[in-house]
C-alpha cells in the first residue's frame, strides 16, 4: 500500500470551542507516519487557531484561494497570505464552489496556478452531477475538467498536486460511490493524464470524496487507485474521523 491522504474539509462549520475539542481528539490519535498524510482544512478564520493547536503529524489546508495575486478584491484571501501563515494545502474547485460561487474551469485554472506560485499543494476537485452520471457522461465530464486545467496551465504542475474525485451526487448525501465505481473513474483519470505524462499519471495521488465514513473507508482505500479520502461531514466528528484515519493506518501496516 502506497501513501494514503486523509483530508478533512470542515466547510463553514465550527467555532473556537468546538474546533479545539475536535483537533485535540485528532491530535491524540494521529501519529507520525511517513505513509499517511492527515490534512485539516478549517475555515479561513480558524487556520491560525488550528496551526497553533495541531501536532506536527498533521498538515493544514485552506478551502479556497483567490484567483488574483493581490489588490482590490474585497473579501478574498490570496495564495501569498496562505503561504505567509504556513498553510500547506489548498482545496480548489470543490463542487460547492463550482455551483454556488461560479468557479468555472477557467477560474479554477488560475487558482491552481497561483497555488503553485505560492508553494501550496492544490487538491483539485472534479466530479460529475447525478444527471451527468445517469446520462452516461461521467467520463467525458471528468476528462474535460482535467484537460481544461492541464491545457490552461502545465502538466508539470501536476507533479506536486492532488486530485480528488468527488461525484457531486455523493457529497453530503450519505450516498457513496461503490469502491468499484470510484476505482473505475480513478483509473480513467490516470488514463487521461497518461497522454500528457506517464510518470505523473501513475504517481499523482487521487483521493475519493463523497460520504466517506468510518464504515466504508477501508473498502474504498483498499482499491489500487484510491489514495485516500477527502472527508466532509464525517470529519466534523472526531471519533468518526479517527476511525477513518485508523482504517488507513491498518491498510498501511498490513
Q: How far is the CB of 124 from ligand PEP (least distance, A)?
A: 12
Residue-wise burial string across 208-237, b where 16 or more C-beta atoms lie within 10 A, e elsewhere? bbbbbbbebbbebbebebbbbbbbbbbbbe
Q: Is 6 in the site for ligand PEP (CB under 6 A)?
A: no
Select 150 or 207, whichever has its Cβ closest to ligand PEP: 207
The Cα–Cα gap between 135 and 138 comes to 8
Q: How far is the CB of 183 from ligand PEP (least distance, A)?
A: 17
Q: How far is the CB of 197 from ligand PEP (least distance, A)?
A: 26
Strand, helix or coil for residue 58: strand
Q: Is 114 in the site for ligand PEP (CB under 6 A)?
A: no
Shortest-Cβ-distance residue relative to ligand PEP = 232
Question: Which backbone phi and psi does 102 adopt, to 5 degrees?
Answer: 60, 35
Out of 67, 96, 166, 240, which one is annotated catalytic? 166
Count the neighbouring beta carbons within 10 Å of the beta carbon of residue 107.
Answer: 17
Nearest to 97, CA basis, from 89, 106, 108, 87: 108
Select 110 or 235, whichever has its Cβ closest to ligand PEP: 235
Of the candidate residues 212, 242, 244, 247, the single one contacting ligand PEP (CB under 6 A): 212
Element (H, E) at 163: strand 162-165
Q: How far is the CB of 151 from ligand PEP (least distance, A)?
A: 25
* Catalytic-residue membership of 194: no
Of the candidate residues 43, 79, 210, 228, the single one contacting ligand PEP (CB under 6 A): 210
* Catalytic-residue membership of 116: no
The Cα–Cα gap between 9 and 238 comes to 13
Nearest to 145, CA basis, from 128, 129, 170: 128
Q: How far is the CB of 166 from ligand PEP (least distance, A)?
A: 5
Of 29-37, 38-46, 82-90, 228-236, the segment contacting ligand PEP by CB under 6 A is 228-236
Q: Is 240 in the site for ligand PEP (CB under 6 A)?
A: no
Count the neighbouring beta carbons within 10 Å of the beta carbon of residue 16.
Answer: 9
The Cα–Cα gap between 205 and 220 comes to 14
Q: How far is the CB of 32 from ligand PEP (least distance, A)?
A: 26
Binding string, residues 148-187; x marks residues near ligand PEP by CB under 6 A: ------------------x----xx---------------
Out of 37, 94, 128, 132, which one is annotated catalytic? 94
Is the distance from CB of 169 to CB of 130 less than 8 angstroms? yes
Binding-site ranges for ligand PEP (CB under 6 A): 9, 166, 171-172, 209-212, 230-234
Residues belonging to the active site: 94, 166
Amino acid at each position: 500500500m502506497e501513501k494514503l491522504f486523509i483530508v478533512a474539509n470542515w466547510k463553514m462549520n465550527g467555532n473556537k470551542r468546538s474546533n479545539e475539542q475536535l483537533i485535540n481528539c485528532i491530535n491524540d490519535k494521529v501519529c507520525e507516519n511517513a505513509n499517511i498524510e492527515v490534512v485539516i482544512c478549517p475555515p479561513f478564520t480558524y487556520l491560525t487557531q488550528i496551526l497553533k493547536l495541531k501536532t506536527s503529524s498533521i498538515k493544514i489546508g485552506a478551502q479556497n484561494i483567490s484567483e488574483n495575486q493581490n489588490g482590490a478584491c474585497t473579501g478574498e484571501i490570496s495564495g501569498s497570505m496562505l503561504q505567509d501563515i504556513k498553510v500547506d494545502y489548498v482545496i480548489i474547485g470543490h463542487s460547492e464552489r463550482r455551483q454556488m460561487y461560479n468557479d468555472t474551469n477557467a477560474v479554477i485554472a488560475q487558482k491552481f496556478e497561483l497555488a503553485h506560485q505560492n508553494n501550496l499543494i492544490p487538491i483539485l476537485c472534479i466530479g460529475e452531477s447525478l444527471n451527468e452520471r445517469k446520462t452516461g457522461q461521467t467520463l467525458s465530464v471528468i476528462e474535460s475538467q482535467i484537460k481544461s486545467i492541464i491545457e490552461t496551465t502545465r502538466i508539470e504542475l501536476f507533479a506536486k498536486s492532488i486530485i480528488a474525485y468527488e461525484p457531486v451526487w455523493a457529497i453530503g448525501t450519505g450516498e457513496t460511490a461503490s469502491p468499484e465505481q470510484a476505482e473505475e473513474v480513478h483509473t480513467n483519470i490516470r488514463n487521461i493524464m497518461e497522454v500528457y505524462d506517464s510518470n505523473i499519471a501513475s504517481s499523482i495521488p487521487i483521493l475519493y470524496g463523497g460520504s466517506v465514513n468510518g464504515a466504508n473507508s477501508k473498502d474504498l482505500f483498499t482499491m489500487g487507485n484510491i489514495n485516500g479520502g477527502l472527508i466532509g461531514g464525517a470529519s466534523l466528528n472526531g471519533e468518526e474521523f479517527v476511525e477513518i484515519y485508523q482504517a488507513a493506518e491498518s491498510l498501511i501496516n498490513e
